[in-house]
Structure formats: C-alpha cells, structure tokens
Amino acid sequence: MIHKKIESYFKEHYTDSPTLIKAPGRINLIGEHTDYNEGLVLPASIEKGIYFAISGNDQHTIQIETFLTQPEKITFQLNGDHEKFESFWGNYFQAIIEILVAKEYPLKGMDCVFGGDIPIGSGLSSSAALCCGFIYAITKISGKEISREDIALIAQEAEHKIGLNCGLMDQYAVLFGKKGNAFFLDCKDLSHSYIPINLEGYSWVLVNSNIKHNLAVDSEYNKRRVSCENIVKQVQKYKPEVTSLRDVTVEDLVTVKSNVKEIDVQRAKYVIEENDRVRKMMKVLTEGDANAVGEVLKEGHWAMSTQYEITTKELDALVQIGESLNGVLGSRMMGGGFGGCTINLIKTDKLEESIKSILTQYKEQTEIDAEYYHLAIDDGVKVFE
C-alpha cells in the first residue's frame, strides 16, 4: 500500500505523527471537449490517488520530498525563493507557492512527503490531484481555510502558469468527488450535482492503449477550439447573446453552414450532441440501465472518431474488440485524444475473461501490449484516516 510507504518514510525522516491527505485521480464518464465550450461534463473521482504526509515545522521553510518517481527534495522559503531543482513536479509546487504569496496567504513552515498510484500519462489527471492535494495540505498546516471552489481556481492558475491551458473539470472532480457517484458539472456557471451510479454487478475498467500523445496534439486541439469559435462568431451575427457553443443549436448550424467550412460545422455538431449525451448518461445511470450506459459510451466514442477525429486506429481497435465481446457493455476513448485509455463497462462475472480477450486481440492486431486498471469511484480530496 503506497500510503503506508509514504507514512513510514515520513516518520523515519521527519516526525512520528504526520497528517495524511489523499487527492484522488479522476475519470470522465462522458463529456469530452465540451468544457472549453461552456458545456456539460460527467467526471468521477477514483480510488487511485496521490498521498501527502505532512506536518508543521519551526524552520520557516516548506520542504517537499518524493522518494518514488524522480526522487528529489526541494526546499522553498516562505517567500517562494528556492534552490534550483530538477524534477518537473517542482514547477507545480513553485507555481502554487508563488500564487499564495501574491495573495498574501499566511504560509507556515511545513514538511511534506508525497507519492501515489495514479499511472502518469494515463489521462487520470495526476497534475490536478497533485495541485489540489498540496493546496489543501497547506491549509491544514497554516490553519486558514480556503474554500474548495477557490482551491480549484488556484490549482488551475498554477497549471496555466506552467503552460497547461486547462479548464476546471479536473480540479472540481478531484475536490468534490463522492464515493459511488458521478459528478455533474456545468462548465458555464460551475453549478454541480451528484449522480448516483446504480450499476450492481458491473465494473469499470480502464485499458491503456500505450499510444502516447504526440507533440501534434496541442496544434490539433487548438484547431478544434478555432472551429468552435468560428461557428460562435457566425451565430453571434444574428444572435448576439450567444457566447459559446453551449447556446448554439443544430438549427443554427444549418443557418450558418454556407458561411463556414464544412469541418467547422462537423466539429460543432459533435460538441452540441456530446452535451446531449451527458444529459442522457445522467438519466440512464440514475435508472441503473447498464445496457443504455454502454450504448452512450459507444456512441460517444464513434462520434469522437468520425466527427471530432481525435481517436487513433489503436483506440478504435480497442473499442471494436469490446463490441465483439458479450461481457463488455460499452467503451470509449477517454480524455483529450490521440492516445491514452479507453474506459469500459464490463459485467463483473465476465471481467477476467473479457480483459484477457481485449489484451490478447489488441496485441494480435497492433503488436502493442495494453495495460488495464480496475476503477472504483471514491471521495474527493480529504484527510485520509
């Protein structure tokens, strides 16, 4: 158990009574590329996470250490100064401390050892867990509370500071997640609610295609954002109140189609329909209709493949293999695209044989070894007992 290792390392090197904080990773059940269009998303926080063992110190420094990936120890002064460091993770902590100093938040001396079991680069949002968990840890030591909404904004600002232009879905999922529930977030006004996942006898599994996102992803991502903006600009000419694709209808697409590229219409249609899939998923989850949940997953995947064009042939193969197995109700690529994982809903009594078939057939078709992770829906950031 990773949290036990972190705790015992802390006790050995610092004090014998640390507080343990857990920040979970997150999955997204449906609602891909809707967040920057002020749309709807349906993520959930998971059992895998990042753990922080922390305690106050009287040295007036913030000492942060990991002994797992890229072992390093970084010491920050309370004004944000620090020695040069090697690890990329240090940039997140530096950004957070600088933001809190600028906000005149009363930082106190703290020792922190962290590590986790979120597979890096698997689309489970380890960076949001790292940022949200660390900010929450700071509040526990400094004794001055920051609301979870504000923690999300500070974590987002930290990611922007180091060049990752993310929305707020990941931070909200990590902070507000609730065991056994999906988390519905409206990215337009940040209103949110819990949707119970009533699926007895079914399991969620992530299958990693082991296709890594390449450098082209950023430019492809930006092209899609531009397509969405092009449509909004055209619609605004006769509906000035429209601020994003959230307020655009399929009828509007018909109206503007002669003034824009066909690809822009195709991409905008995907986003509008994806918002509808989020609404549909909320309904069928609440009803506990596993078959319908599987259908929404499949529909979402093939829309990403043919309309938004962000999947890869390997991810399409994983979904097709699942469609040929009667233990798999549905699957889809999860995340920004061009690599990463599929999320799969599988009958629990057919779990082992289904996973084995997926991995075997995928290897035969692509010569790539896929990996899988069992998922359990868990609580958001909390003190871990």
Q: Which positions are catalytic?
A: 170
Q: What is the largest CA-CA distance in the chain?
A: 69
Identify whether the C-beta of residue 281 lies closer than 8 Å to the C-beta of residue 299.
no
Contact, 74 vs 57, CB < 8 A?
Answer: no
Cα(285)–Cα(293) distance, integer angstroms: 7
1 CB-contact burial (10 Å; exposed 0-12 / middle 13-18 / buried 19+): exposed
Asked if 75 and 93 touch (Cβ cutoff 8 Å), the reply is no
Q: List for the chain the helix, strand, coil content (%; round to 5).
A: 45, 25, 30
Query: For residue 238, with 0-12 CB atoms within 10 Å meaning exposed, 13-18 middle and 19 or more buried, which class applies?
Result: exposed
Rounded to whole angstroms, how far apart are CA atoms 93 and 264?
39
Contacts of residue 265, Cβ cutoff 8 Å, sequence gap at least 6: 231, 253, 256, 257
Our CA dihedral for 228, 340, 190, 97, rounded to 10 degrees, sits at -110
The answer for residues whose C-beta is within 8 angstroms of residue 280's C-beta and 6 or more apart is 292, 296
295, burial (CB in 10 Å: exposed 0-12, middle 13-18, buried 19+): middle
What separation in angstroms does the CA of 103 have from each of 76, 144, 279?
17, 13, 38
Rounded CA-CA distance 161/312 in Å is 30
12 contact partners, CB below 8 Å, separation of at least 6: none
